[in-house]
Amino acid sequence: TSFLSEPPGGKRLPLKYGGTDATEVWHSMHRAEIMQEYGASLKIGVLAGKGSGDAPAPAASASGAAGASAASARDVRAYASSLRRCKAELREFIDDENCHPILVRLAWHDSGTYDQSLASVWPACGGANGSIRFEKELAHAANAGLGKAVLYLRPFKDKFPELSWADLIQLAGATAIEVAGGPKSHVRYGRVDVASEADCPPEGRLPSAYPPFPGGVDAATHLRQVFHRMGFSDAEIVALSGAHTLGRAFKERSGVVSEGYGAKAGTRYTTPGAGTSARADGSPALGMPGGRSWTKRWLAFDGSYFAGGGDGNLPPRDSELLWMPTDSALETDAAFRQAYLRYAHDERAFMADFASAHAKLAELGSRFDPPEGVRLDD
């Protein structure tokens, strides 16, 4: 019928779910508070009868009687199954594309906008709510280049439409860390997506790399202002910074390095055929060449971010590796330095502390459905 061409998503969803119980899919795409306000007048809801002339029941509300919320309609077991199947496909994709770093960056930039002073005001508090998928937020200076990561995930969203964008983004980031040899973080899923660009956070909540920092403060103070706002301790700041073991900076993105896209614009660690391997398995594959990395094996998650400088017992830092003022602050600030040296000499301690801090980061500002979330402790 002509209706097939009318839905915003086109023919795909009606053809896939027509004649079936699409309750879970419906609630994953329509916010409960919007349904509460408009559902009754639009006659959207659960059919009370079959051919009897009964009117549809009121749409589920954000809290209270008629179905409590979308949470009551979600089949948690089916949702967890979709997460597992999606994760398996993400693992294969990430390993083939060598795109671990950009997916971690996407996940962290979605969750890293959280402001705990606004914790009771969702989604104004920011955090892991899927808002980074919108062009408005991708246009923020700190998110330069992340549109590519969203494009990477669109086929997965198409194949698993029941998964929220917020979950898909965090699942991809956590899976990328595991594929690179990092620890498994016990992250909850079941996040609710924000609905539109109007819900994107203001620009300026993510950390800067180089001065001048907001307010004219030094690098250590800037890190504390950003991460304490999210609720992290000094030690957790250092542990999370260790994720710079993955990835590179590009002239065309952050602009903090002279190296850019392409084999002729990289260092010996980011150029194919230079006799080095960026991956944990020793494979020469490195994906798109170019840029400057923090570590020699920038597709392997380990403790090598902490391997240079620091004290007389550590080797000098390689001049071809990236090291920014915010990285240096971890060595020079007394409180940060304690954790930095601990991780430099104890990789197992770093991995354990990182996994804990990462799980916390991935849940900042998230609204879960069901409220207790969905676990994948497999």
- Give catalytic residues, as residue numbers: 109
Distance CA 62, CA 100 (A): 36
Distance CA 187, CA 195 (A): 23
Distance CA 324, CA 268 (A): 19
What token pair was written down for 177? 């860390």
Q: Give Cβ neighbours of residue 38 (< 8 Å, ≥ 6 apart).
A: 44, 59
DSSP state of 231: T
Burial 267-276 (b: 16+ CB within 10 A, else e): bebbbeeeee
Residue 26, phi-psi category: left (phi > 0), alpha (psi -120 to 50), beta (remainder):
alpha
Distance CA 21, CA 9 (A): 18
What token pair was written down for 309? 């400088």
The count of C-alpha atoms lying within 13 angstroms of the C-alpha of 297, restricted to the half-sphere facing its C-beta, is 17
